[in-house]
């Protein structure tokens, strides 16, 4: 069974469109994250939710909006896509946050290409 899954794996879309990436974890974890990895392989956290509460909200355009319907899901919605949004987006989860059990487990990534 996949611990952290993301859909879709690849997403190719036109500039200006609105798209969503879904993430689900079946580990029973309380915390979930979204990361962006740019073309230079630099990994940067975007958001983190703990028990459905937003705890990390880095400086990202407000076109990006995370939505957590329950603890097992953290979806990423992106409005008005721009060329610079092209990247690989990773979802992750951890049992806790800031404690001894917050080892993070990552999904396989979603490669977003904006044309």
Partner 1 sequence: KQEVTQIPAALSVPEGENLVLNCSFTDSAIYNLQWFRQDPGKGLTSLLLIQSSQREQTSGRLNASLDKSSGRSTLYIAASQPGDSATYLCAVLGLSGAGSYQLTFGKGTKLSVIP
Q: Which residues bind partner 1 (CB under 8 A)?
A: 33, 40-45, 48, 55-58, 90, 92, 97-100, 102-109
d(CA 80, CA 64): 9
Least distance from partner 1 to the Cβ atom of residue 26, Å: 16
Least distance from partner 1 to the Cβ atom of residue 96, Å: 11
Contact 104, 49 (CB under 8 A): no
Q: Is the dihedral of CA 61, 15, 78, 90 positive or negative?
A: negative
> With respect to partner 1, which residue has the nearer C-beta, 31 or 75?
31
CA–CA distance from 19 to each of 13, 69, 88 (Å)? Answer: 8, 17, 14
- Cα-based torsion angle of the residue sequence 53, 48, 66, 61 in order, rounded to the nearest 10 degrees: 120
Least distance from partner 1 to the Cβ atom of residue 46, Å: 10
Least distance from partner 1 to the Cβ atom of residue 72, Å: 18
> With respect to partner 1, which residue has the nearer C-beta, 5 or 79?
5
> With respect to partner 1, which residue has the nearer C-beta, 66 or 107?
107
């Amino acid at each position: 069974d996949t611990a952290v899954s993301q859909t879709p794996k690849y997403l190719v879309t036109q500039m200006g469109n609105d798209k969503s990436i879904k993430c689900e974890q079946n580990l029973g974890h309380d915390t979930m994250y979204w990361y962006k990895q740019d073309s230079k392989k630099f990994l940067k956290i975007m958001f983190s939710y703990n028990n459905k509460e937003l705890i990390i909200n880095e400086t990202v355009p407000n076109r990006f909006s995370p939505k957590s319907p329950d603890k097992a899901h953290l979806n990423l919605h992106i409005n008005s896509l721009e060329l610079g949004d092209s990247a690989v987006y990773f979802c992750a989860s951890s049992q806790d946050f800031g404690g001894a059990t917050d080892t993070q487990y990552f999904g396989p990534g979603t490669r977003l290409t904006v044309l």
